[in-house]
Amino acid sequence: MNIFNGISYAYDGRTILYSPIEIISNEMNFEWIQPHLPQILRDRFPNSDGILKVKIYPTKNFLLSDFSKSLNGLSEDRSWRSVVEVVLSEYAITRENDSYMMMRSGAMFETGEHEFKLGLVWREGNKKGVHIIKEQNVTQMCLAMDYQKIVFFPNNENFLKFLKTFIKNNFGNLNEAEKLCNGLLLSPLNNPRRILCFKEFKNVGHGILPKAVMVKMMDDEIFELNELIINADQKVTIDFLGDKFKEEVLQLNRLPAFRRILLIDEQLRRLQLNNPCTKAFGIFVQEEMLRGSFEILPPMNTVGAMNYQLTPFETGSFQLKPQNYFKKAVLDYVVILASEQDYHRTLKEIQKNFKTYFKKLYAND
């Protein structure tokens, strides 16, 4: 969408858009109907009757050319680091071939999917960030990057089809499927614009999947499994996985150092950090590893609450289970300040979250 007459820009995916020269001096509003959007946006907004509305207004200006080269560095460097990080990501996100998507600031993953297990997929990508360092007595910017694989739900997959695959390969464990799908965003097939949040499965009869199971959303609305599709770009939260499967997911990123370096180099090649967008902003990335002395600290235990010891594995990492870290609360009374209408719903939520027994309960209108 060439709304700026060919001027390059970089968008952080949320609220801020950067440009190498001033684009607008006053607020601007744009509207596009779905058929007139680029293909990458039509894939995200499948409803042909949809309208995309955008409002843009100017904020503060600062020049990258003003970046200090003094020995004392900058008194405030976050703005500089943020804008350079966004500019370095823009080209890989918006290009047509081998495109990436941004999970969060500094974390980018390919849009293509690779089959993993239980109907899930994995994508490879990177975590990167811009830092300000002193090298040879000069304050300058450097890019830090690491390689990462993350497991995702399959994009736009029919929910019934996904569950059949997951349960078939997981020996029919619907309870694990419910934990895995906690908070999953779904859309009805007949109305892709609606976004629903998965709450739980609901048994409606005696039988096996799919006839005996339906889906209950956070707003308590009920749907059949085959009426829903999985929204795009949703990663799997490993906290809801069983120990065995969680270990398999973690194993994806346990790589020998020499292999990790090769994969980081491959990410640099794929991102093409020196591109038309970075050129327009006057940014050039010198793809050369920084060298310096370093020290490997010996493994050490981390002490948690109640003197709980977190002992590292041979790899230097450790596993933290929240139930072994947080102190257990002792509650004798719970006071609920709620109307009569909301009392029972509030009580039910408290009991669900605390999963404990209360000696006394009070309700005040």
For the stretch 28-62, pLDDT in tens is 888 888 888 877 677 767 777 888 888 888 887 77
Give CA–CA dist 78/271, Å, rounded: 23
Give CA–CA dist 46/276, Å, rounded: 30
Give CA–CA dist 170/167, Å, rounded: 5
72-76, 193-197, 223-227, 266-270, range with greatest mean pLDDT = 266-270
What is the band of 154 on the pLDDT scale with cuts at 50, 70, 90?
very high
Domain spans of the chain, in order of start: 69-155+238-294, 159-231, 333-364
pLDDT score recorded for residue 157? 93
Residue 226 has pLDDT above 60, yes or no: yes
In terms of pTM, does the model score above 0.75? no
Residue 237 has pLDDT above 80, yes or no: yes
Q: Provide the mean pLDDT of the chain.
A: 79
Report whether 116 contacts 250 (CB < 8 A). no
DSSP 162-204: HHHHHHHTTTT-HHHHHHHTTT-EEEETT-TT--EEEEEEEE-
Give CA–CA dist 10/322, Å, rounded: 39
Give CA–CA dist 191/45, Å, rounded: 11
The β-bridge relationship of strands 51-56 and 107-110 is unpaired
125-144 pLDDT tens trace:
999 988 887 767 777 788 88
pLDDT score recorded for residue 328? 57
Residue 254 has pLDDT above 50, yes or no: yes
Give CA–CA dist 95/87, Å, rounded: 13
Phi, psi (rounded to 5 degrees) for 78: -65, -40
Give CA–CA dist 151/252, Å, rounded: 9
User: Between 15 and 327, where is the model more confident?
Assistant: 15
User: Between 26 and 278, where is the model more confident?
Assistant: 278
Mean predicted confidence (pLDDT) in 314-340: 65
pLDDT score recorded for residue 8? 86
Residue at 123: amino acid letter? R
